[in-house]
Structure 1
Amino acid sequence: MRLIIAEKPSLARAIADALPGPVAREEGSLRVGDTQVSWCLGHLLEQATPDAYDPRYKQWRLDHLPIVPERWMLTPRHNARGQIKVLRSLLKQADSVIHAGDPDREGQLLVQEVIDYLGWRGPIARLLISDLNRPAVQRALERVEDNQAYQTLYHAAEARSRADWLYGINLSRAWTLTGRQAGHDGVFSVGRVQTPVLGLVARRDREIADFVPRPFHVLWADFQVEHGKVRAWWQPDDSQPLDDQGRLLKREPADELASRLPGAIGNVTALDAQKKRQAAPLPYSLSALQVDAARRYKLSAKTVLDTCQALYERHRLITYPRSDCRYLPQGHLAEARRTLEGACHGDDQLAGWLGGADFSLRSKAWNDKQVGAHHALAPTGARPDFSRLSATEANVFRLVVRNVLAQFYPHLEAREVKADFAVLDERFRAQGREILVPGWKPLFTTRDEAPPLPPLRQGEAARVVGHAVENKQTRAPEPFTDASLIKAMMNIARYVEDDAVKRTLRDTDGLGTEATRAGTIETLLDRGFIVRQSSALRATRTGQALIAALPEAATRPERTALWEQRLRAIAEGTDQAAPFLDALLGDLRTLLASADAGRMRQALSSAKGFEAPTRPKARKAGRSGTKGFSTKRRATKRTRSKHKEEA
């Protein structure tokens, strides 16, 4: 008997439907001829709690730390024992096993760890599926590989799991216990991703709270030229009182110049006109989609993730969504017209966009060299039934289709003009943009562009026909939203202060992964460290206190971003898990040595932040072992679906 183990039931059903022959339902599996297709429910196993290694760890004590297992153990998750029993029975009957986890690091781990846990010692094949429609699954079944080729991916995921356990268990116990000494009755959970993300929010909130607005002033003048009117802004030189961004800090110089402007004659002294071509935005990665959907539809990152999962699993309209890639395989190009015609069926907006597509064009999106374990989100070509889609599902689906359709539109071409005017020995500047070829732009916005400058000639006369001095104020930074926080997590190098680390981090190295960023935000909300105020994400007093009490290194993104680099190197076979974990233990001991009740007491007394919503009182740490707090979340419906990587 051949046994195929999928990551979840929806994938198992898709595989069974793609096999030849009738499908028979059995307990915990589907039978098609001599093939049994069974499944996990996300992670069936989790890292054992500390007291599984030693009963004395049931009580939380500082002198126990750091807790470091000599031999790692896994235990079944809550409500997973039934499916583990099914898989154990099927493995005993199997002649061959196929691993059909999702095509990513965690998908590799969660199926393989179950196979290993249940004692299978035979060879394992690997089935990679990113599109649940029958033809795509059938093609994947014809390309089954040796699972041995994916062992470095497994080692990276296993190292990630163990590192998160070490980091979360030890630091959470340390700072919860020092919090108790300082009078705080609750759990301070610390994680290698969630805590730096909380640090981003807390520091931004402090910047907003500490911000003192400063007035500045602008002077504009309207110039009458041969072919129309141009508004230009005064460019004061360094002899004027300017801030570091060139803004005028005192109004008097502007008023003095303004008093001499009426009717003054000047001329165009410099003219710079450039024609620019801009390619369409690439197809979406999950995080890029979360950013755009949050901005356009005010959707939370978790809502976008859940919607994508529904479009992938239930409706089978899009490809595998948890992708960090924005490119598509070159082989998909030949099928693009058929795929997009199917995706656009039944929707006037999509059909209109399809009508403008030119399938003779080829964008840079089709690039095998840029495609790794996943490719960008794309429609599968299945015809959507919009009556069965929620409004959110329909909106997110249109975004995914739109960004692929845009690859078959011409470049946006525009003429950008900068013009300098000299009058009364002072310089004024105007800028304008004229759209020459709209290309893909109408798919993304219906807003009118600012009017272009009228035709200008260098040296032509310009007479002042209007002017004004305006008082303005510097503005505080905006609080984070789902969109801006996801974007910050994607581009974390911007928030890194160490120049050497900043140079080391590639643009693709972020905080967390595509699969975990939405869950990290939800974790911080659930644990009362941040709150949502309309679309803004703000740190609570508890969140601010934790960031103030921790060593700065634990609250900043450098360490975890470099962790991700090491994990990627392990996945690519250029690094090993053991040195990575050894380095982590060295860092962990240094961090634990800085746990200090006095610093915690000061942080709690001085913390300012937003009030978290009232929640059930947390169980006191240490009274019942780690059941009061665990770095692993309980196996709720959400975690079973796929909140797999710990924050």
Structure 2
Amino acid sequence: MKLIIAEKNSVGQAIAAVLGAKERNSGYLEGGGYLVSWCVGHLAGLARPEAYDTSYDKWRYGDLPILPKQWQFAVGKDKRKQFDVLRGLMRREDVTEVVNACDAGREGELIFRTVYHLAGCAKPMKRLWISSMEDTAIRRGFDGLKPGGEYDGLHQAALCRSQADWLVGINATRLFSVLYRQTLNIGRVMTPTLALLVQREEEIAAFVKTPFYIPELDCGGFTVSGQRQQNRSEAETIRAACDGRPAVVTSVQRQEKETTPPRLYDLTTLQREANRLFGFTAQQTLDYLQSLYEKKLATYPRTDSRFLTEDMAAGLPVLVNQAALVVPGIRGKAAVTCDAGLVTDNSRVSDHHAILPTMEIRNADLAALPSGERDILFLVSGRLLCAVAERHRYAETVVTVGCEGNSFEAKGKTVLHGGWKTIDAAYRTALKSKPEENGEPASLPELTEGQRFVAVRAAVKEGFTTPPKHYTEDTLLKAMETAGSEETPEDAERKGLGTPATRAGILEKLVKTGLVERKNKQLLPAKKGINLIAVLPEVLKSPMLTAEWEHRLKLVERGGLSDTEFIGEITALTAGLVKDNSAPNLDFMRLFPAPVGSHGEPVGVCPRCGAAVREGKKSFYCENRDCGFALWRYSRFFVSAKKELTKEIAAELLEKGRVSMSGLYSPKTGKTYRAVVVLEDTGKYVNYKLEFEKGGRK
């Protein structure tokens, strides 16, 4: 009996349907010689600091750095039931082999291996590696299951990523939160991404608009432009010299050029395009694409490749023709061709090939899809049609005109063969939201060298230099992707901040924690984010350094660097960070004043974030407003017990997590009793439970 473990319920059920496992049980399906279950995402992860030492539940500088010698894992409280199901299945005597069918990528490998090891499983392990949820792809995948050991490097890289994020995130967040008396969320990738945003805003603020002047000649039907001048007087001198004077064509250069079709989408380029066209966030695009993948309408989302493997070439023409039948604006309006050689290259496909629609689109009711999913599916399908189409050919003409010793120039373009751009234009015309088009030169009249114009009209065109633009998700994703690498040919290996699979989550966390604000399509650093970057050392906010770490994770994956060496580097950096920042920078303390209304000595330390808890009229509240922790004076527990939550009781609850109280009233019995009141904080709600001492019911 083989046990198949998928990442999600929906994927597990799709696999079970193909394998014939139809018998439903609690948390799994069975049949055809298979057991099929699922992980519900991350069932388990690295344990919190308190698991290593209970004293770590308080945030103190003296405890830093926290550097686990033996890493521990914890199962999420809300996921314990499914973990127990998986552990029970792994221990069944009739299970001889376990198949990892989690998403075929770094995180999917980590999700499976963590559960496998926590369950104490040692049974043979195989790997299902597929890029599509189509039935045929699933069957092919099971026909070619790989030994699990082939993916050990992928697991090591995933584990190193998780441990590095823990080390930097836990220690840096606690360190600077304690130093500056409020929670400052810091992340290995999140913080350098925030630094990019802050740097861009500084560039915009420092920008000084500068005018420039361009002399122009109207030659009766077309305009030629001179060189840009910094001073108006120089441009006016040229204008005055040329106005009403004769001009002559000194050069006509015509060159035929062509533009190759765009490449297929990887996740990042699709997210960028969807942001430009539809205003979708990176997370929305990923969510829509993930849903299409699970509905078998698109291939695996989290890919960094823009090519297909060469064995896919034979099936492309059929898929291309099918896509042409569903993409708005294409059917019957643009000729469709398929040059598979443009998009197939084994050497440029890593874990997964580029994103494609699947043949299931021919049977699907696309009109019934949510609009966001439909937009993404059409975008992916339209890009496929363009990527395999003929090249766009055009003639570019550059005309030079001389007048009174000055040279002027104009460019013109004539389309010779529309090729892929005809398809692209037809599709985009059908979009409700059209992108801003880049202005292209219009065609020029027929001109010959030596052609004269008797009296041209001269003018001066004034313009201004423009500041850098605010980041949008489109442009920020590009900056994240190329951070740490040269601005290069696309084929050059990129280092980058994060991975295609993680960038959307990073942007969402920046917004959720209040460090960044969304304004229409723009991403702008909030005051809190700007202040945070001001106090942090370069090592935490350097995009170059973090991109280098991401590159080294790839080396771990490929066996070019040991996991011990990588984590050793992160550990040394973390220890140095704590050592070098033993006190706050007093010049920056003004950036983090105590919250309005707080006064006097704190009642205690917030168990959630380490900030001070202060006394208010209705509660003892965390001064970090983003935290939300509070002990309410008139909570249901204390009101029903007919006890007052005093400052002294609150202080003891915060310090020890419990307080012994007498005279507690029981509404059921009408009597009073003594008990230990234990503080239980879920991270979202504050609850209390009772522990009775011997002879405590008095």
TM over 0.5, shorter chain? yes
Select 2:188's aligned residue among 174, 186, 192.
192
Deviation, 1:300, is 1.1
CA distance in 2, matches of 1:89, 1:605: 53
Select 2:224's aligned residue among 213, 222, 232.
232
Q: Are the equivalent residues in 1 in contact too, given 2:324–2:336 (CA < 8 A)?
A: no
2:197 paired with 1:201: yes
Q: Are the equivalent residues in 2 in contact too, given 1:569–1:575 (CA < 8 A)?
A: yes
Q: Name the counterpart of 1:23.
A: 22
CA distance in 2, matches of 1:255, 1:173: 63
Q: Name the counterpart of 1:364.
A: 342
CA distance in 2, matches of 1:587, 1:595: 12
Deviation, 1:553, is 2.8
Q: Name the counterpart of 2:448.
A: 457
CA distance in 1, matches of 2:566, 2:21: 48
Q: Are the equivalent residues in 2 in contact too, given 1:275–1:414 (CA < 8 A)?
A: yes
Q: Name the counterpart of 1:10.
A: 10
CA distance in 2, matches of 1:477, 1:8: 43
Q: Name the counterpart of 1:71.
A: 70
Tell me the amino acid that sits aligned with residue 481 of structure 1: T
Q: Name the counterpart of 2:98.
A: 97
Q: Are the equivalent residues in 2 in contact too, given 1:325–1:376 (CA < 8 A)?
A: yes
Deviation, 1:425, is 1.0
Relative to structure 1, is the Cα distance of residues 66 and 194 closer, same or farther in structure 2, using a 3 angstrom cutoff?
same
CA distance in 2, matches of 1:539, 1:511: 18
**Mean CA deviation greater in 43-52 or 506-515:** 506-515
Ranges in structure 1 where 5+ consecutive residues have no aligned partner: 181-185, 236-246, 497-501, 608-613, 627-632, 635-647
Q: Name the counterpart of 1:644.
A: none
Select 2:383's aligned residue among 403, 407, 416.
403
Q: How is 1:393-472 mapped onto 2 (pairs within 5 angstroms)?
A: 393-445=373-425, 446=429, 449-463=440-454, 465-472=456-463
Tell me the amino acid that sits aligned with residue 61 of structure 1: R
Relative to structure 1, is the Cα distance of residues 590 and 222 closer, same or farther in structure 2, using a 3 angstrom cutoff?
farther
Partner-residue secondary structure (3-state), 1:317: coil
Select 2:352's aligned residue among 354, 366, 374.
374
Q: Are the equivalent residues in 2 in contact too, given 1:7–1:101 (CA < 8 A)?
A: yes
Select 2:564's aligned residue among 574, 578, 596.
578
2:285 paired with 1:307: no
Provide the aligned length of Structure 1 versus Structure 2.
591
Tell me the amino acid that sits aligned with residue 564 of structure 1: E
Q: Are the equivalent residues in 1 in contact too, given 2:244–2:458 (CA < 8 A)?
A: no
Relative to structure 1, is the Cα distance of residues 286 and 562 closer, same or farther in structure 2, using a 3 angstrom cutoff?
same
Q: Name the counterpart of 2:234.
A: 253
Deviation, 1:449, is 4.9
CA distance in 2, matches of 1:624, 1:206: 42
Q: Name the counterpart of 2:688.
A: none
Q: Aligned-pair RMSD on alpha carbons?
A: 2.6
**1:343-395 Cα shifts (integer Å, max 9, x gaps):** 45455535347x62123x23421111111111100011102312221222111
Deviation, 1:545, is 0.5
Choose 1 or 2 for highest CA Rg: 2
Deviation, 1:269, is 2.9
Partner-residue secondary structure (3-state), 2:126: strand
Tell me the amino acid that sits aligned with residue 351 of structure 2: A
CA distance in 2, matches of 1:192, 1:393: 32
Q: What percentage of residue pairs aligned between the two structures are identical?
A: 33
CA distance in 2, matches of 1:270, 1:362: 41
**1:392-416 Cα shifts (integer Å, max 9, x gaps):** 2111111101111123311011122
Relative to structure 1, is the Cα distance of residues 431 and 483 closer, same or farther in structure 2, using a 3 angstrom cutoff?
same
Partner-residue secondary structure (3-state), 1:372: coil
Deviation, 1:78, is 3.6
Deviation, 1:256, is 1.7
**1:248-274 Cα shifts (integer Å, max 9, x gaps):** 221111112212222222323344332
Partner-residue secondary structure (3-state), 2:498: coil
Partner-residue secondary structure (3-state), 2:268: helix
**1:495-534 Cα shifts (integer Å, max 9, x gaps):** 99xxxxx99x954221111111111111000000000111
Q: Name the counterpart of 1:564.
A: 550
Select 2:255's aligned residue among 274, 287, 294.
274
Q: Name the counterpart of 2:369.
A: 389
Deviation, 1:444, is 2.4
Q: Are the equivalent residues in 2 in contact too, given 1:545–1:603 (CA < 8 A)?
A: no
2:154 paired with 1:168: no
Relative to structure 1, is the Cα distance of residues 416 and 57 closer, same or farther in structure 2, using a 3 angstrom cutoff?
same
Q: Name the counterpart of 1:46.
A: 45
* Higher RCO by CA contacts (8 Å cutoff, separation 6 or greater): 1
CA distance in 2, matches of 1:464, 1:135: 73
CA distance in 1, matches of 2:151, 2:41: 19
CA distance in 2, matches of 1:506, 1:175: 37
Deviation, 1:325, is 0.6
Q: How is 1:350-361 mapped onto 2 (pairs within 5 angstroms)?
A: 350-352=330-332, 356-359=335-338, 361=339
Relative to structure 1, is the Cα distance of residues 31 and 6 closer, same or farther in structure 2, using a 3 angstrom cutoff?
same
Q: Are the equivalent residues in 1 in contact too, given 2:330–2:423 (CA < 8 A)?
A: no
Deviation, 1:175, is 0.9
Q: Name the counterpart of 2:208.
A: 212
Tell me the amino acid that sits aligned with residue 549 of structure 2: W
Tell me the amino acid that sits aligned with residue 5 of structure 1: I
Q: How is 1:317-328 mapped onto 2 (pairs within 5 angstroms)?
A: 317-328=297-308
CA distance in 2, matches of 1:96, 1:374: 25
Q: Are the equivalent residues in 2 in contact too, given 1:491–1:507 (CA < 8 A)?
A: no
Q: Name the counterpart of 1:528.
A: 514
CA distance in 2, matches of 1:84, 1:584: 31
2:486 paired with 1:485: no
CA distance in 2, matches of 1:519, 1:604: 31
Tell me the amino acid that sits aligned with residue 190 of structure 2: Q
Q: Are the equivalent residues in 2 in contact too, given 1:549–1:603 (CA < 8 A)?
A: no
2:464 paired with 1:473: yes
Partner-residue secondary structure (3-state), 1:444: helix
**Mean CA deviation greater in 96-105 or 417-426:** 417-426
2:87 paired with 1:116: no
Deviation, 1:624, is 8.7
Tell me the amino acid that sits aligned with residue 535 of structure 2: A
Relative to structure 1, is the Cα distance of residues 625 and 75 closer, same or farther in structure 2, using a 3 angstrom cutoff?
farther
Q: Are the equivalent residues in 2 in contact too, given 1:214–1:473 (CA < 8 A)?
A: yes
Q: Are the equivalent residues in 2 in contact too, given 1:282–1:327 (CA < 8 A)?
A: yes
Deviation, 1:581, is 1.1
**1:76-132 Cα shifts (integer Å, max 9, x gaps):** 124110110000110011211111121111111111111111011121011112111
Select 1:283's aligned residue among 264, 270, 288.
264
Select 1:297's aligned residue among 278, 293, 301.
278
CA distance in 2, matches of 1:251, 1:62: 61
Deviation, 1:617, is 4.3
**1:166-205 Cα shifts (integer Å, max 9, x gaps):** 011111111111111xxxxx31111111001100111111
Deviation, 1:31, is 0.9
CA distance in 2, matches of 1:596, 1:549: 13
Q: Are the equivalent residues in 2 in contact too, given 1:217–1:471 (CA < 8 A)?
A: yes
Partner-residue secondary structure (3-state), 2:291: helix
Relative to structure 1, is the Cα distance of residues 615 and 455 closer, same or farther in structure 2, using a 3 angstrom cutoff?
farther
Q: Name the counterpart of 2:648.
A: none
Partner-residue secondary structure (3-state), 2:12: helix
Relative to structure 1, is the Cα distance of residues 71 and 625 closer, same or farther in structure 2, using a 3 angstrom cutoff?
farther
* TM-score where L is the length of structure 1: 0.86
